Amino acid sequence: MELTERGAGESAMMTDRSWAWDRYWHADRIASCMDGAGQSNYDNRLSAGWSGFFETLPPGSRILDLCTGNGAIAAIAAESGNQAGNGFTITGVDLADIDPLKFVSRYSGPVQSVRFLGKINCETLPFETGTFDAVVSQYGIEYSELERSLPETVRVLAPAGRLRLGLHAAEGSVVAETNRLLADVDFLSDEARLCDVAAQCMTAVLAVERNPTSNQAQRAEADRCLAEFRNSLTRIETYLPLATDQRMVRDSTSVLLHAFENRRYFDLSILLAKVEDVRSEILAHRHRMLALIAAAVTSGGAAAIAGRLAGLGLADTGWGEQRADEQLLGYWIEGALPR
């Protein structure tokens, strides 16, 4: 991808904070990382701590899940409340255009009662003061403007209401993995230039194949573009065993190769639309990863957030590490309003 194109595409996405996440959550997935395959929540490395928290809430608690995505934490709350017969009332909100009950096939039973609201900015929550008995977020609120979202979080808590947040750790394994995944995207878009050369190849080759009067210069251009596309595919094939996200690299390449091989069946506009769809998916993937890395907090940042919450009136604030298999995953922060 040319730097000018990359900059323009990413600049457009940055003007709409939810664009890349709209695409992501309109799929049959629950969490952005550590999704327990075949389950309706995060895997046990994270879900156990959340289940324990929800089990301590009083029956009938009103719970708000901030930055819910496709409802991983809301689902744990619903299942925990159902098992204990606690009858929670759960609302999940997100800045993205979410509809988990439409897209997630694993959801059934108690999760069906969760109210999900999209296009909700957690810096300006549309709820009355003191509405919720618990406010939670896992890998979400740190993406927001904390100077605005933290006071809003406390505002909507009822007296004795409890807060629990899980934040990405800048020093943790999730961020380290994300940096490795980002290298795969950078290779596809900036080094192999997959989408650029595919579009140029399809345009030049079809200009010759569909024009019996094409001239020598057009044929030479088609040969050059075809050779460049093949070179890109060869570079990607060599890189693939080294990739962290081999599926993403393989799928992006396969889609465009299949489109080119079947070019005789489609108008050029359809083929180029397919290229742009792949390009948009790669850009969105890059945008989400960069956002994650930028949002992650250090241990000092987690302590500062806990202190900020104490200054906003929460009592018994504390923070600690979310770990699994000796790996640092994130930080948790808890507190409660006085009665």
Are 122 and 70 in a shared domain? yes
- Judge whether 12 lies within some domain: no
- Residue 201 domain-assigned (yes or no): yes
Order of strands across the sheet that contains 62-65 = 115-117, 89-93, 62-65, 132-138, 157-168, 327-336, 315-324
pLDDT tens digits for 30-86? 987 644 333 334 667 678 889 999 999 999 999 999 999 999 999 999 999 998 888
Co-location of 127 and 25 in the same domain: yes
pLDDT at position 31? 83
Q: Are residues 150 and 260 in the same domain?
A: no
Residues 62 and 194 in one domain: no
Residues 82 and 184 in one domain: no
Domain count of the chain?
2
75 and 192 inside one domain? no
- Report if residue 202 sits inside a domain: yes
Same domain, 58 and 149: yes
Verify that 205 and 161 share a domain, yes or no: no
Rounded Cα–Cα distance for residues 277 and 285 (Å): 12
CA distance 258 to 255: 5
Distance from C-alpha of 249 to C-alpha of 254, rounded to nearest angstrom:
9
The whole-number pLDDT of residue 43 equals 65
Residue 9 lies in a domain: no
pLDDT tens per residue, range 279-297:
999 999 999 999 999 999 9
CB environment 280-291: b (16+ within 10 A), e (fewer) = bbbbbbbbbbbb
Residues 113 and 25 in one domain: yes
Question: Is 0.75 topped by the overall pTM?
Answer: yes
CATH number, domain at 116?
Answer: 3.40.50.150
Could you tell me the residue range of the domain that residue 242 belongs to? Answer: 174-292
Token pair for 37: 């395959």
Residue 49 is encoded by which pair of tokens? 């701590």
Same domain, 49 and 120: yes
Question: Do 183 and 277 fall within a single domain?
Answer: yes
Residue 5, domain member (yes or no): no
Would you state the torsion angle of the CA atoms of residues 134, 137, 143, 145, taken in this order, to the nearest 10 degrees? 10
- Does residue 93 fall inside a structural domain? yes
Say yes or no: 164 and 30 in one domain.
yes
Q: Identify the segments of the chain with pLDDT beneath 70.
A: 1-16, 33-43, 45
Q: Tell me the CB-side half-sphere exposure of residue 48, using CA atoms within 13 A.
A: 5
Q: Tell me, yes or no, whether 10 lies in a domain.
A: no
Instruction: Identify whether 243 is part of a domain.
Output: yes
At 324 the pLDDT is 85
